Structure 1
Amino acid sequence: MLANRRILLCVSGGIAVYKAVALVSKLSQAGADVKVIMTESARQFVRPLTFQVMSRNDVFYDTFDEKDSSVIAHIDLADWADLVIVAPATANVIGKLANGIGDDMVTTTLLAATAPIWIAPAMNVHMYDHPAVKRNIQQLHDDGIRFIEPSEGFLACGYVGKGRLEEPEKITELVNGFFSREMLLKGKKVVVTAGPTRERIDPVRFLTNFSSGKMGYAMAQAAAELGAETILISGPVSLPAPSGVKRIFVESAEDMLQAVKTEFADSNFVIKTAAVADYRPKTLHGQKMKKQDGDASLELERTADILHYLGTEKGKQVLIGFAAETNDVSRYAKSKLERKNADYIIANDVTESQAGFESDTNKVTIYGKGDFEQSFELLPKQELARQLLKLIVEREMRNDR
């Protein structure tokens, strides 16, 4: 499965470096081409020669040691990789990457990388639980970086708890799974809509909603990881573009409709997670509306129903809609599935704790034609997106759509 896959392993300092040697061995045995970059601290635990022997490649650790004068080493390595793994990842390297600091070979290469980045932390249990480390990890999660959670057990410092670098066998298994999943959508085009829309009232005011775009961005990231050409049509959000995804920014419901129309014809999957405004002001004021005595009223008109439009126009496309509800979730979702001629509706109760707008987790039920229904417990949105998309793609493959 890993034949001809190019994996860049970034090794930072800690006693768990010895496991990184075993990881290089496991990945190489599985057929991967592995290159290693080490921090200065990592070289205090294991000599570069050890990794060189295991990988059969030069080992890099000095930004200014250009082994090939025709390229810039850290840029060349960043461009070369299909997957970048930081293992072990110390609190120090996690903090640097979260804050955009590039002061050595590892961090400058990570900042230049466009391939997916996985981070496998290893540190003392109290360090892992420190508020600053947790903030940095959350920032990297928000940036689209995936974490391989440390396991619990006896630590080198004498503590027992969470902080052990995951075992090389398990990391190799995850890498195998990543590249096998990648093939599921290879050659397919996936269009995802995400975030809120804004419907202008005047030059300084607009109607919108609480959507953060996190679920839609997670679905786009999952599609890219599965090998799809992924187009993300996004309303106004502050999230970074997922790795390997083409992002198109829009503002209003009409803007989003026109962007979807442009990408729809040659798409294979359309995932409509965006919280599109149902109404817009009937009159757009050219100047700021001034405050006056008494009440004011705002006349609204319907916006275009993008999901309904796609349902009437679709042919080969698999159409997936989302339903954010506050009550009678199942009834409304099933009704929407039929009315919109969608293939799947993914519904959630936004009033539930940690499952509503702006949260990093979600709890959903997916409904499909033929009375298909499956629930998912509370999960991080990135992981939930992977599971949802994998489920849908595998069902569609079985149906030989």
Structure 2
Amino acid sequence: MLKDTRIVLGVTGGIAVYKAVELLRLLTKAGACVHVIMTRAAQEFVTPLTFQTLSSHPVHSELFNLIAEQEIGHISLADRANLFVIAPATANVIGKIANGIADDLLTTTAMATKAPVLIAPAMNVNMYTNPIYRENEEKLRRLGYLFVPPEKGALACGWEGEGKLAAPETIFEAIAAALRPRDLAGQTVMVTAGPTREEIDPVRFISNHSSGRMGYAIAGAARQRGARVILVSGPTGLAVPAGVERVCVESARDMQAAVMRHVKECSVVIKAAAVADYRPAERKGDKIKKQAAEMTLTLVKNPDILAELGHLKKHPFLVGFAAETSCLEEYAARKLAEKKLDMIVANDVSSCDAGFNVDTNRALLLFKDGSRQDCPLMSKDELANRILDEVVSRLPARRNH
């Protein structure tokens, strides 16, 4: 996701430094090239060797330590960064940056960089709510600095409240968002995700193997690219991507109601959910007891949400999914035409490394103009952005019609 992205990670003194270690691991796993700057106070909590081992680069801490014979350290680090991240950021370092004080390597590099700066504060709740600190943060926000708000909870100092460093996964999402093109800013994107459940009785239901990961990846990526995102989700165990509005549903009819309620707000709808095609004709009020050797269950068709959207007189840019086990392109092309879609994402869910309940996917993208694109095996996060790249490239042409 962040392959070859150059990130400077500034680490300041506080008990939350251990979370910066996990953040570094997430960044390097995603392919980022990370250079770490540690303040002297930070080194009291975690040794530079830990960050050096995980980043595969020397840790920087001294203002006048030359990287190369003709390179000034803070200028070199400032110039090479695509993004400058400070996590954890103490009230002290935030106050210094807000007031133009550059008296160590971290603050000097922050002053010199032209890259976006993302700050994740961590401090005592009373410091966080102090008017002096609030004024410093607001000043930096006005100047274009980005912030990852701290969480509420039990603090190391014994107090409870705001000031706890955000989770490494939350900071990672903010980093990805800061580096993404904001090419969906001003758009409202609705994504459906996960399975639906059709109840047979109070304890049994019909469903499928969808985990929701593909839809959640698309929702998170669309939000990172600046869109307002409405995620209509069947039952999953997944966390909501930061900044995404989730609407939870159970059955296909629940999903239909939620989708049709929000569709007028949307410029793009991506139907990644695995919606049950059928439901029991009758839902029993009590648990069905085991009696005869066989039981016949009568099923009736569920509403076709995708077809309903496609046949609206004026519909958003509409992306469907085709999860198949054979005749992939044939069935997907038929679905694209019959449901009047702009684009369809087809994937073979019989493959063990793609489709349901795995982190990778491969897909065939088909478009209403007859063009096609093959997407080889990749992470679902990468595929999400490949899909959105195609959506973005076609939105301007659509608006001109």
TM-score, normalised to structure 2's length?
A: 0.68
Partner letter of residue 166 of structure 2?
L
Q: Deviations over 1:364-395 (max 9, x none)?
A: 01101121100101111011101210122113
Please report how far the alpha carbon of residue 27 of structure 1 lies from its aligned counterpart in structure 2 after TM superposition. 7.6
- Equivalent position of 1:17 in the other structure: 59
1:82 is the counterpart of 2:146: yes
- Equivalent position of 2:164 in the other structure: 108
Is the CA contact (8 Å cut-off) linking 2:10 and 2:106 kept in structure 1? no
Higher mean C-alpha deviation, range 318-327 or range 382-391 = 382-391
Question: Residues 272, 69 of structure 1: CA spacing in aligned structure 2 closer, same or farther, 3 A cutoff?
Answer: same
- Equivalent position of 1:70 in the other structure: 131
CA distance in 2 between partners of 1:67 and 1:192 (Å): 36
1:188 is the counterpart of 2:187: yes
- Equivalent position of 1:351 in the other structure: 350
1:117 is the counterpart of 2:178: no
Q: Deviations over 1:65-111 (max 9, x none)?
A: 938822777x969x966366xxxxxxxxxxxx9xx99759xx92223
CA distance in 1 between partners of 2:80 and 2:242 (Å): 23
Please report how far the alpha carbon of residue 26 of structure 1 lies from its aligned counterpart in structure 2 after TM superposition. 3.1
Please report how far the alpha carbon of residue 33 of structure 1 lies from its aligned counterpart in structure 2 after TM superposition. 8.6
Partner letter of residue 106 of structure 2?
F
Question: Residues 21, 307 of structure 1: CA spacing in aligned structure 2 closer, same or farther, 3 A cutoff?
Answer: farther
1:379 is paired with a residue whose SS is strand
Is the CA contact (8 Å cut-off) linking 2:10 and 2:84 kept in structure 1? no
Question: Residues 34, 23 of structure 1: CA spacing in aligned structure 2 closer, same or farther, 3 A cutoff?
Answer: farther
Q: 1:288-307 maps to which residues of 2 (within 5 A)?
A: 288-307=287-306
- Equivalent position of 1:255 in the other structure: 254
Is the CA contact (8 Å cut-off) linking 1:36 and 1:51 kept in structure 2? no
Q: 1:28-67 maps to which residues of 2 (within 5 A)?
A: 37=88, 49-56=104-111, 63-64=123-124, 66=127
CA distance in 2 between partners of 1:266 and 1:246 (Å): 13
Is the CA contact (8 Å cut-off) linking 1:9 and 1:37 kept in structure 2? no
| Identity fraction in percent | 37
Is the CA contact (8 Å cut-off) linking 1:24 and 1:34 kept in structure 2? no
CA distance in 2 between partners of 1:216 and 1:365 (Å): 16
Q: 1:116-265 maps to which residues of 2 (within 5 A)?
A: 117-118=171-172, 177-178=179-180, 181-182=181-182, 184-265=183-264
How many residues matched?
A: 314
2:215 is paired with a residue whose SS is helix
Q: Deviations over 1:215-271 (max 9, x none)?
A: 000110111111111000000001000111000000000000000011101210000
Structure 2, gaps ≥5 residues long: 1-6, 12-19, 21-47, 53-57, 62-72, 91-101, 113-118, 158-162
Which has the larger Rg?
Answer: 2
Q: 1:305-320 maps to which residues of 2 (within 5 A)?
A: 305-313=304-312, 315-320=314-319
Structure 1's consecutive aligned runs of 4 or more residues displaced over 6 angstroms after TM superposition are 59-62
- Equivalent position of 1:379 in the other structure: 378
TM-score, normalised to structure 1's length?
A: 0.68
CA distance in 2 between partners of 1:247 and 1:319 (Å): 19
Q: Deviations over 1:101-142 (max 9, x none)?
A: 9759xx92223x99x633xxxxxxxxxxxxxxxxxxxxxxxx
- Equivalent position of 2:341 in the other structure: 342
2:186 is paired with a residue whose SS is coil
Partner letter of residue 335 of structure 1?
R
Structure 1, gaps ≥5 residues long: 1-6, 40-46, 85-96, 119-143, 148-173
CA RMSD in angstroms, aligned pairs only: 4.0
Is the CA contact (8 Å cut-off) linking 2:74 and 2:108 kept in structure 1? no
CA distance in 1 between partners of 2:131 and 2:390 (Å): 45
Is the CA contact (8 Å cut-off) linking 2:120 and 2:147 kept in structure 1? no
2:374 is paired with a residue whose SS is strand
Q: Deviations over 1:295-322 (max 9, x none)?
A: 1110000000000000011515100000
CA distance in 2 between partners of 1:264 and 1:54 (Å): 46
Partner letter of residue 55 of structure 1?
A
Q: Deviations over 1:123-170 (max 9, x none)?
A: xxxxxxxxxxxxxxxxxxxxx6878xxxxxxxxxxxxxxxxxxxxxxx
- Equivalent position of 1:360 in the other structure: 359
CA distance in 1 between partners of 2:88 and 2:193 (Å): 36
Is the CA contact (8 Å cut-off) linking 1:324 and 1:350 kept in structure 2? yes
Partner letter of residue 369 of structure 2?
G
